[in-house]
Amino acid sequence: MRLLLFLVFSFSSIHLYSQESGYSVSGAVVDEFEQPLFGAVVTILNSNHVTTTNQDGRYVLKNLTKSDHLIRVSYMGYQPVTKEINLNHRLDGENIRFDFSLTEQIEGLQEVNLIGKSHKRKVEEKGFAVNLIETKEASLRNVQTNELLNTAVGVKIRQNGGLGSEVNYSLNGLSGSSIRIFIDGIPISTYGSSFSLNSIPTSMIKNIEVYKGVVPGYLSDDALGGAINIVLNKTAINNINASISYGSFNTTQASVNGVYRFKNSGFTVKASAFHNYSDNDYKVSGRSVLVAGIGGEQTPITARRFNDAYRSTGGMFQVGYTDVKWADQFLIGFTASDDYKEVQHGAFMTITPYKDRFLESDALLANFIYQKKDVIIKGLDVNVNALYGKRNRAVNDTVAWAYSWNGDRAIDFRGDEYQYTWGSQQEGGPTLAKINRKVASIRTGLAYSLSNHHKVLLNHVYSGVDREDSDALRSVLENTFQGTRDLHKNIFSLTYELSVLEERLKTSVFGKHYQQKTTSTDPAIEQDANGNDIIVDEVVSSTNKFEGYGFAASYAITPDVTLLTSAEKAIRLPNETEVFGNDGDNVVANSTIKPEVSDNYNLGFRFGRFRIKEHEFTISTNLFTRNIKDRIGLPIETSLNVDNELIVYVNQGNAKSKGIDAQINYSYKNNLGFNFNISRFDLTTETATGTEFDIPNTPFLTMNSGLRYSFKNLIQKKSRLNLFYTLYFTDDFSYLTSQGSNTVGDDFFKVPEQFVQDLGLSYVFPNNNLVMSFDVKNIFDKPVYDNLSVQKPGRAFYLKLNYSINNL
């Protein structure tokens, strides 16, 4: 209540605080691809007015006199821009906005004196085990957000198939719901499956923050193993960007986004939309891709997936005000999305795949954003981000015929086509199940800078789901007395940040309080004292309250050598799917599942950025350990349950992950770029008798490498041709529990080591408005597998066009 009263008071008081005398000029500085430029120098010529842009590319110049001025913006590697501003006819105290779009210099830089640090470096030197991924180059290519994440050190994307298939994110061996995904700090689960990282184009993303093990307080969620925060572009410079790509497996991806801000009023309109489609009819083979004949004879074949199409469409629309006196951002709008996904098989690729089983999802969410720095008093910042709306999901499975991998109906040993006795593709009977949800999420943050060295942050995240299940194929009585599923979660965090010794020592200490309540209500028929049937509600409810805490610290031993360390007692509460189940994903409910707790530790170094003439390089390492109690995951696979279609999340027991990450980045003359990273860890658990063994279905060694080279003035002046090469290596792993010294038959369950190589190029035309790119994925067409040996696409080709108009 006090927080609410404070916010109301803040909103009502914003217009009342005093303004500084003179004129104020503000705006945004971006590059030709609408990416904000952090640290650009903004100067009023022939005066002492000078400032630099913040991480969002924004600047403010205050106390300007009533006259003509020349304002100049410069940034390393870009052509400086100068504009004239006339303040003679402006109203006193009026805030004038000037936006700048800088163009990269084509000529190579021979000598650069670097002052200050980039936003990326500042984030990565705060003490957390964090990587900041920039999307500037990826937005020009046919690279999905998940592919971009998969190149980060310690990150492994676990995907069961092609575009639109189920995805799990693994950080240092911990995966699933141990890793929380956010969009601007809002849990992505709120948006539903129809608005996912598969569908968000990289052109909409400013950067991606990847926190491993220890998660800062401002994200305020039960992210036990780490967090991935997608930071969307927030620049209010007028622009429009559109892209379309087409490639293998009849894959089409299109997106458009734009911003228009009225200079005088600050009224801003933002809109974006996307559409994705793929047949996902890539070739598969292996132990389960067989055709059964007369007499039970089984013939291995190479087949095309035939029931795996995916389509997703969505958009976001917002209106409000940006960069005005009473708000940096005040936006209201809605997000809408829907998707359609055919289901080829269950958790495993079995001998009889599915046909005509599919899922449909949609979501309609209202959203609200308010951000303001220096509210009422200097140093007090407010940030509110909220969503509320409905999500729906439907499962359609009514076909009883069995099918083979050639797409024809399966035959029995007599040669006759047959049907499943349960009347559907998945065991359990035909279904037209629907899950309707009302969802809400609000993230509130207050930050107060006591001085340049001390800062206090208070954050709160609320997430709520009210869920109702139904099935049109059930009886009227069953649907009339259908149960409900409710989940509500509150997480509070308090953080204190300290920066001393001329910013060489930076520390962050935080505490978190977790609350979660789950309720399952199911009607049941009982008899009263007179023997009459009555309807009663059977309620299963549980409440969990936990406390967590942690810290992060960094110490700059030299300006280019930094020690980083962090630790956290982290809590992970069971999510909706793990508690209530989900028919669409073949997941059974488990109301008795317990939260998991982990003690996480990181210790690392960052060396660089070192510069030797025209060579630059950075090296970083991180040692980590995770001690987990009551780890949540799928049952440990054995030869007895390895072909089950249905899965259930359980507490596997205690587990431990320990290992090392390392990466190196190198560049030469701003033309050549090279990066390499490696992650090696152990992930073990213990049985009740104390026997320790590796957790199955987990790759313990991964490596990624990338090479980029830019040709300038090729074919046309002021054009650029960028060449890209990427290598992914995943060591072999088994999805069967180790049987000790008896290894007979283990190879049957082993996923072999995998080398996957991609090539790409992008051509930037001289006006910088049009970019054409061509990508070849898995150029040598190597077999690629993932979770439970599900096969992923082979070689694929994609062509993409990207067109943008800046400074509308």
pLDDT digits (tens, 9 = 90+) for 647-662: 788 887 888 999 999 9
Pick 533 or 289 by higher pLDDT. Answer: 289
Q: How far apart are CA 234 and CA 255, in angstroms?
A: 17
Distances in Å between the Cα of 122 and the Cα atoms of 130, 561, 667 are 11, 13, 19
In the prediction, which pLDDT does 569 show? Answer: 94
Mean pLDDT of 237-255: 92
Mean pLDDT of 306-324: 94
Residue 59: pLDDT over 70: yes
Beta strands in 262-350, from DSSP E residues, in sequence order: 267-278, 283-284, 290-292, 298-300, 303-304, 310-324, 327-342
Q: How far apart are CA 499 and CA 453, in angstroms?
A: 5
Lowest mean pLDDT among 97-101, 284-288, 663-667, 720-724: 97-101
Q: Per-residue confidence at 18, pLDDT binned at 50, 70, 90?
A: very low
In the prediction, which pLDDT does 108 show? Answer: 42
Within a 10 A sphere around the Cβ of 455, how many other Cβ atoms? 18
Q: pLDDT digits over 114-133, tens only?
A: 445 677 888 888 889 898 98
Instruction: Read off the pTM.
Output: 0.82
Residue 88: pLDDT over 80: no
In the prediction, which pLDDT does 789 show? Answer: 81
Lowest mean pLDDT among 30-39, 240-249, 485-494, 622-631: 30-39
In the prediction, which pLDDT does 337 show? Answer: 93
Lowest mean pLDDT among 250-264, 695-709, 725-739: 725-739
Residue 96: pLDDT over 90: no
Most confident of 18-22, 526-530, 692-696, 756-760: 756-760
Mean pLDDT of 136-148: 79
Beta strands in 450-581, from DSSP E residues, in sequence order: 454-471, 484-500, 505-527, 533-558, 561-572
Q: Per-residue confidence at 343, pLDDT binned at 50, 70, 90?
A: very high
CB contact set of 345 (below 8 Å; sequence gap of 6+)? 353, 354, 790
Q: How far apart are CA 691 and CA 653, in angstroms?
A: 12
In the prediction, which pLDDT does 584 show? Answer: 59
In the prediction, which pLDDT does 31 show? Answer: 78
* Contact between residue 710 and residue 722 where contact means Cβ atoms under 8 Å apart: yes
Q: pLDDT digits over 430-476, tens only?
A: 999 898 999 999 999 999 999 889 999 999 999 998 988 888 887 77
Mean pLDDT of 501-519: 92
The first and second tokens of residue 249, run together, are 């497996």
Q: pLDDT digits over 176-211, tens only?
A: 778 889 888 888 888 877 677 877 778 778 889 999
Q: Per-residue confidence at 79, pLDDT binned at 50, 70, 90?
A: confident
Mean pLDDT of 247-267: 92
The first and second tokens of residue 442, run together, are 């609000």
Q: How far apart are CA 60 and CA 213, in angstroms?
A: 37
Q: Per-residue confidence at 112, pLDDT binned at 50, 70, 90?
A: very low
Q: pLDDT digits over 555-606, tens only?
A: 999 988 999 999 999 999 888 888 888 765 678 888 788 888 999 999 999 9
Average pLDDT of the chain, as a whole number: 85
Helix, strand, coil percentages in the chain from 3-state DSSP, rounded to 5: 10, 55, 35
Residue 759: pLDDT over 60: yes
Residue 296: pLDDT over 50: yes
